[in-house]
Amino acid sequence: MVSTHAVNEKGHLVLGGIDSLELAKTYGTPLFVYDLALIRERARAFINTFKEQNVPAQVAYASKAFSSVAMYQVMKQENLSLDVVSSGELYTAIKAGFPVDRIHFHGNNKSKEELLLAMEHNIGCIVVDNFYEIELLKQLTAEHNQKVNILLRVTPGVEAHTHDYITTGQQDSKFGFDLMNGQADLAFSQVYEDDYIQLLGLHCHIGSQIFETIGFKVAAEKLIKKMIEWHHDYDFECTVLNLGGGFGIKYTKEDTPLEPSVYVKEMIMVVKSLIAETNFAMPEIWIEPGRSLVGDAGTSLYTIGSEKEVPDVRNYLAVDGGMSDNIRPALYGALYDAVIANKVGEKADITYTIAGKCCESGDKLIEHIELPKAEPGDILAMFCTGAYGYAMASNYNRLARPAVVFVENGKHQLAVRRETLEDIVHLDLPLSMEKE
Ligand SMILES: *Cc1c(COP(=O)(O)O)cnc(C)c1O
């Protein structure tokens, strides 16, 4: 087990003070269970570090990790801001009653309709990604005689992943304006004198599942250097520096993430020291954690069904979900840890491969895991599935998407109900054309 999860007197895994077997029985499987206490703890750790250091900041939940009305309401309770990347996520935020002035709109191909929806709701900030978007925004804001706040998303030529980072002269990314080859300067020149577009500052997002602070440091240096240049050349006052997300979490025992406060303190230190060399006011620092807010707060519960032994090769253990509710292992080899929730104390001495029930040989959730002898009906608890699990779920093989439950200190509630067979055919229309 990754961390010491609570176990009760029956030897059952406990989530948020509740027996996981009870949750599986009450809500069925597959089931996503989110422990809100952990989400709140993380949110507060990010926010309080900025407060303690007396640095104006916004901590925005990068909500593509898991988007739902109730989750947005949790983030609202914790005074976070919110990143959305589509009209679907924006609409969810509106439905959740999320404060619009704290919504930031991302995306590398926002449509006219999406930008109009953002303008209609007067959201706090649009993170502008490309020249086409600048054109669209100029046109729409002038047409509607409406001002918008923007950040320019730039690619600083820093790519961070887990334990290392690389500086590339020119970054091969579909996102943002290149900081080095003149694109960012051209974008700046197109917006900074515009009557409707208010440029607040710069944004970058350098990677995901990052365990070191060096990448953030190098990126911040590059952004501030550009800020100083634009101030010198155009008198531009940068009020926001958004350094993105990507803070790592512990999927397996090999992962060694830093505390939220460590990432934040390092960012503050770098920005403060560089700003101190200028006569600028300290900009607001914005960050965008996604997986580090919800990833390890989420646990997937599955019911174990069939088993297949391939002699001398492996034992497949099949569960009632799979790539349809967690595509990350199949998509990019993501690793997870798991236990049998009703056999937590028992000796884990059999090596299994956990397979999903989708018609793809690649539909494996865990390649090798030591578990106690499993039987049909046992409940498998897979940890750390709260980010990019449900969010990437599909109806492949017409499997119904799981339910999502929130737990906290012995309380529980349904946050997303399970899809029904009726839901599955809900969009289908009968054939109406005659047979030729
Ligand atoms: C995905 C994303 C994030 C969050 O990444 P995590 O790895 O989930 O923290 C933050 N900012 C932007 C722009 C993103 O696209």
Question: pLDDT tens digit string along 74-85?
Answer: 999 999 999 999
The answer to whether residue 436 is domain-embedded is no
CA distance 30 to 14: 17
Q: Which domain holds residue 169?
A: 53-294
Residues 13 and 104 in one domain: no
Residues 71 and 195 in one domain: yes
pLDDT beyond 50 at 255: yes
Please check whether residue 38 is in contact with residue 296, taking contact to mean a CB–CB distance below 8 angstroms: yes
Percent of the chain with pLDDT over 70: 98
What is the pLDDT at residue 3? 47
> In CATH, what number is assigned to the domain containing residue 360?
2.40.37.10
pLDDT beyond 60 at 4: no
In the predicted model, what is the mean pLDDT of residues 33-62?
Answer: 98
Q: Is the CB of 105 under 6 A from ligand 1?
A: no
Residues 277 and 301 in one domain: no
Q: Is the CB of 357 under 6 A from ligand 1?
A: no
For residue 62 the two structure tokens come to 């990068």
What is the pLDDT at residue 163? 78
The tally of CA atoms less than 13 A away on the side-chain side of residue 15 is 29
Ligand 1 geometric centre to CA of 343 (Å): 36
Query: How far is the CA of 236 from the CAs of 56, 149, 191, in angstroms?
Result: 19, 15, 11
Q: Whose CA is nearest to atom 10 of ligand 1?
A: 245
pLDDT beyond 80 at 399: yes
Name the β-bridge partners of 388: none
* Residues with Cβ within 8 Å of residue 199, at least 6 apart in sequence: 150, 151, 152, 188, 191, 192, 236
Residues 28 and 115 in one domain: no
Task: State the CB neighbour count (10 A cutoff) for residue 400.
Answer: 19
Residue located via tokens 């969010």: 391
Q: Is the CB of 291 under 6 A from ligand 1?
A: yes
Give exposure, 320-351, as e/b (b: 16+ Cβ within 10 Å).
bbbbbbbbbbbeeebebbbbbbbbbeeebeee
What is the pLDDT at residue 267? 96
What is the pLDDT at residue 150? 98
The answer to whether residue 41 is domain-embedded is no
pLDDT tens, position by position, 6-33: 999 999 999 999 999 999 999 999 999 9
Ligand 1 geometric centre to CA of 413 (Å): 27
The answer to whether residue 83 is domain-embedded is yes
Indicate the pLDDT class of residue 168, thresholds 50, 70 and 90. Answer: low
Mean pLDDT of the chain: 96
Alpha helices in 277-391 (DSSP H): 291-294, 328-332
In the predicted model, what is the mean pLDDT of residues 193-216?
Answer: 96
Determine whether the annotation assigns residue 244 to a binding site: no
Q: Is the CB of 288 under 6 A from ligand 1?
A: yes
> In CATH, what number is assigned to the domain containing residue 162?
3.20.20.10
Determine whether the annotation assigns residue 290 to a binding site: yes
Q: Is the CB of 244 under 6 A from ligand 1?
A: yes
pLDDT beyond 50 at 149: yes
> Which of these three, 268, 294, 320, is where a domain ends?
294
Q: Is the CB of 245 under 6 A from ligand 1?
A: yes
From the list 189, 188, 154, the residue with the least C-alpha distance to 171 is 154
> Which of these three, 294, 324, 350, is where a domain ends?
294
Determine whether the annotation assigns residue 132 to a binding site: no
Peptide bond preceding 376 in cis form (omega within 30 of 0): no
Residues 290 and 367 in one domain: no
Residues 287 and 319 in one domain: no
Ligand 1 geometric centre to CA of 139 (Å): 29
In the predicted model, what is the mean pLDDT of residues 246-251?
Answer: 97
Please check whether residue 82 is in contact with residue 72, taking contact to mean a CB–CB distance below 8 angstroms: yes
Q: Whose CA is nearest to atom 5 of ligand 1?
A: 246
What is the pLDDT at residue 2? 42
Ligand 1 atom with least separation from CA of 247: 9
Q: Whose CA is nearest to atom 8 of ligand 1?
A: 290
The answer to whether residue 45 is domain-embedded is no
pLDDT tens, position by position, 271-327: 999 999 988 899 999 999 999 999 999 999 999 999 999 998 899 999 999 999 999
Q: Beta-strand (E) ranges in 171-265?
A: 177-178, 197-203, 207-210, 240-242
The answer to whether residue 86 is domain-embedded is yes
Task: State the CB neighbour count (10 A cutoff) for residue 185.
Answer: 17
Indicate the pLDDT class of residue 170, thresholds 50, 70 and 90. Answer: low
User: 42 in the Ramachandran plot: left (φ > 0), alpha (ψ -120 to 50) or beta?
Assistant: alpha
Which helix (H) or strand (E) segment holds residue 422: the answer is helix 421-425
What is the pLDDT at residue 160? 86
In the predicted model, what is the mean pLDDT of residues 26-53?
Answer: 98
What is the pLDDT at residue 162? 78
Determine whether the annotation assigns residue 246 to a binding site: yes
Type of residue at 178: D
Q: Is the CB of 64 under 6 A from ligand 1?
A: yes
Structural domain tally of the chain? Answer: 2
Residues 86 and 200 in one domain: yes
pLDDT beyond 60 at 1: no
pLDDT beyond 80 at 106: yes
Residues 366 and 275 in one domain: no
Determine whether the annotation assigns residue 298 to a binding site: no
Determine whether the annotation assigns residue 332 to a binding site: yes
Residues 28 and 141 in one domain: no
The answer to whether residue 70 is domain-embedded is yes
Residue located via tokens 């051209």: 186
Percent of the chain with pLDDT over 90: 93
Ligand 1 geometric centre to CA of 336 (Å): 20
Ligand 1 geometric centre to CA of 65 (Å): 8
Give exposure, 411-428, as e/b (b: 16+ Cβ within 10 Å).
ebeebbebbeeeeeeeee
The answer to whether residue 1 is domain-embedded is no
Residues 73 and 215 in one domain: yes
For residue 89 the two structure tokens come to 């996520």
pLDDT beyond 70 at 430: yes
> Which of these three, 260, 294, 328, is where a domain ends?
294
Q: Is the CB of 63 under 6 A from ligand 1?
A: no
Residues 290 and 312 in one domain: no
The answer to whether residue 48 is domain-embedded is no
pLDDT tens, position by position, 407-419: 999 999 999 999 9
Residues 281 and 149 in one domain: yes
Ligand 1 atom with least separation from CA of 388: 8
Alpha helices in 66-160 (DSSP H): 69-77, 87-95, 112-120, 131-143
Type of residue at 80: L
Active site residues: 359
Which helix (H) or strand (E) segment holds residue 369: the answer is strand 364-371
